[in-house]
Structure 1
């Protein structure tokens, strides 16, 4: 994957200030390790008049497969073969967006201790992405970038130059240009961070609750009023309806706060006060867990098995009650156990608390010595 960022300058404001803003020296080629390979930063040109920084992400396809992160549209796993045969190492996607955030994190936040005044100034910018997946075609590329002030040049890439009759691929060569007075470097990087995976319409990692916060941070100042807000939000969050709805509500609060010149938190509190007066039905899943906890407490159970624990909702509820001294979550799905581990925060849990809970893969259809010795076993929503 390859991306370049170029700017022009004058003797008073040399273009090589780009090195200060990106926190990467123009005189050196640097490499940064990532979970999926190596991100290289180099400068093909660096003069007072013009400076270009290049980000080259060298993806290790084997590492990508080993980490089990080959996701398709909507976060669903690809077919077995697609994990090995895909465009991830070659086309701009969420992998490149994550690398941008990791390598240029300070620039994305608009922080530059060496040139603080330059970080807040707008720059003439040119960004080039040679291979970009564009589900929705050139029309969607224009719709996403032009409202943000970019001049967009999209060149369709043919499936095979030797066989033009095969038509165009879903990839495009993208050039974005903006004159001085329009955007800061931080704003430009945040646009790319959000819109590259939006155009790819897929992410290489599981999309969870924290992705809403990432989207709103990167979209601050532009996403709330973007005409394609719905498309951007839905695709960025891998079309997960609950997360998309939550993000859209928060963006609407931002828009209303800007219109009324009020603080978002004040407006949010006012909405909460109105909705709190309405009586909401308790979800059936919550009532079911409450009934299970009451039954276990009544039986005096201290060591509990949750067979078919799924994503760990019941295990989480059991952990909150110190009367349950040992809790084991069992499931046939390693993916569900991974989500449960994240939900419970096992990697951040204190030693004493961590001793109370364990998760392991297993099936209640087979004899398993690990299931011996518990006071109670729960099967909640285990259809099989």
Structure 2
């Protein structure tokens, strides 16, 4: 995947300073196992051509360490196509240009417009030329596309589904790069991670000076943030309250569970089952009344990261150091028996459905906690993220509607627990909450 920048006219050689790159050297960096190269194929006073090219490691993309890129399989075209993933590499290579902070003698050139041609791709997207024009023409670019011909001996179709996009217009380097940084994710049909405040801040920062007046502003917010409530709100009230409309779902989820645990009379012993990197466990460590806190996780990598978080708080007197346990959800572990609270926070959707009844039987029959909390995504709410039939994370084996989740909880209840269903996150009148929670409370007569 690549981005090529061409500029013509007087003094275009100053772009090397705005990019903070030596035109006579190859820039090469490793970003999470992926090789990022930047090189000048032509450099003179009147003409500059520079290309940012990424050679991904497809095996690295399939590992846990690359999950930030939201890819789990390297047998696809994603690692070769310009996408929202590509913006991560752009930010590492073009940080000086994005932020407009070259060395002091070149600061006046940050606001100087040049005649640019930006070519990027291949773009694996169903975006039409008509839509591309609606996105780029209002900000001063002409648009053209090119589909590569298939060269494979077994031709399934004449043209590739991936296209190259070329933009031409007069703008500053910083503005042009920022516009690409915002609009490439809009073109990417694959991006679907949940929006948080960092994403909103990025949109506001890189969209400053052009996005507010864009005729497709609502569509850009909808597609880039994948959160319909945000762009609806921007239409109603303008720019001011965007950040206020979104509370990070992870934080809301943790806060809700922490509050529910805090409200329990019996909470001396708590198990975070499937604790991952320990984000919830750390918060539980500050809850008064907990005297034993077990962080149970089968992944060695995740447990190692969790231990770093626990160790950072060793000297805090009000923090209860968790006990890390390497264990599986599917094999009996007597260390988890008869605890006050067991928590499964966003865990079950990562497990094949047919394996869940065995897990539930072990928890409710063998471990017999006084309280069990289970949270999982509400599939109905995905419609607000414009995800189609997709799941919120590529590692999810399923996502349930509210009826499906409640039916499953009731079917797997041993009869010794009362069930209470609640939602977490901003409620929608039709689709409910983004996260659903079941509270299993053991009956006193048990």
Of the two structures, which has the highest relative contact order with CA contacts closer than 8 Å and spacing of 6 or more? 1
Cα drift, residue 349 of structure 1: 4.8
Residue 229 of structure 2 corresponds to residue 245 of structure 1: yes
TM-score scaled by length of structure 1: 0.72
CA deviation vs aligned residue, 1:324-350 (integer Å, no higher than 9, x gap)? 244234478x7xx97xx89x9938953
Question: Which residue number in structure 1 is paired with residue 203 of structure 2?
Answer: 215
* Secondary structure of residue in 1 paired with 2:39: strand
Count of aligned positions: 338
Tell me, in whole angstroms, the C-alpha distance in 2 between the residues paired with 1:116 and 1:246: 35
Question: Which residue number in structure 2 is paired with residue 27 of structure 1?
Answer: 24
Question: Which residue number in structure 2 is paired with residue 350 of structure 1?
Answer: 313
In terms of mean alpha carbon deviation, does 220-229 or 358-367 score higher?
A: 358-367
Q: Contact 2:60/2:66 (CA < 8 Å) preserved in 1?
A: no
CA deviation vs aligned residue, 1:32-59 (integer Å, no higher than 9, x gap)? 1111411111100000010111111111
Match of 1:191 among 172, 179, 192: 179
In terms of mean alpha carbon deviation, does 154-163 or 121-130 score higher?
A: 154-163
Tell me, in whole angstroms, the C-alpha distance in 2 between the residues paired with 1:376 and 1:4: 56
Tell me, in whole angstroms, the C-alpha distance in 1 between the residues paired with 2:145 and 2:260: 58
Q: For structure 2, which runs of at least 5 residues remain unmatched after alignment?
A: 246-251, 343-370, 376-408, 413-446
Q: 1:17 to 1:352 in 2, by over 3 A?
A: same
Question: Which residue number in structure 2 is paired with residue 294 of structure 1?
Answer: 263
Tell me, in whole angstroms, the C-alpha distance in 1 between the residues paired with 2:320 and 2:275: 18
Q: 1:99 to 1:268 in 2, by over 3 A?
A: closer
Cα drift, residue 21 of structure 1: 0.4
Tell me, in whole angstroms, the C-alpha distance in 1 between the residues paired with 2:268 and 2:338: 11
TM-score scaled by length of structure 2: 0.63
Question: Which residue number in structure 1 is paired with residue 271 of structure 2?
Answer: 305
Q: 1:347 to 1:58 in 2, by over 3 A?
A: farther
Match of 2:88 among 98, 119, 125: 98
CA deviation vs aligned residue, 1:213-235 (integer Å, no higher than 9, x gap)? 22222222222332223332233
CA root-mean-square deviation: 4.1
Q: For structure 1, which runs of at least 5 residues remain unmatched after alignment?
A: 256-263, 273-282
Cα drift, residue 91 of structure 1: 1.6
Question: Which residue number in structure 2 is paired with residue 4 of structure 1?
Answer: 4
Question: Which residue number in structure 2 is paired with residue 174 of structure 1?
Answer: 165
* Secondary structure of residue in 1 paired with 2:176: helix
Tell me, in whole angstroms, the C-alpha distance in 2 between the residues paired with 1:284 and 1:184: 42
* Secondary structure of residue in 2 paired with 1:217: helix
Question: Which residue number in structure 1 is paired with residue 115 of structure 2?
Answer: 124
Question: Which residue number in structure 2 is paired with residue 57 of structure 1?
Answer: 54
Question: Which residue number in structure 2 is paired with residue 84 of structure 1?
Answer: 74
Cα drift, residue 94 of structure 1: 2.2
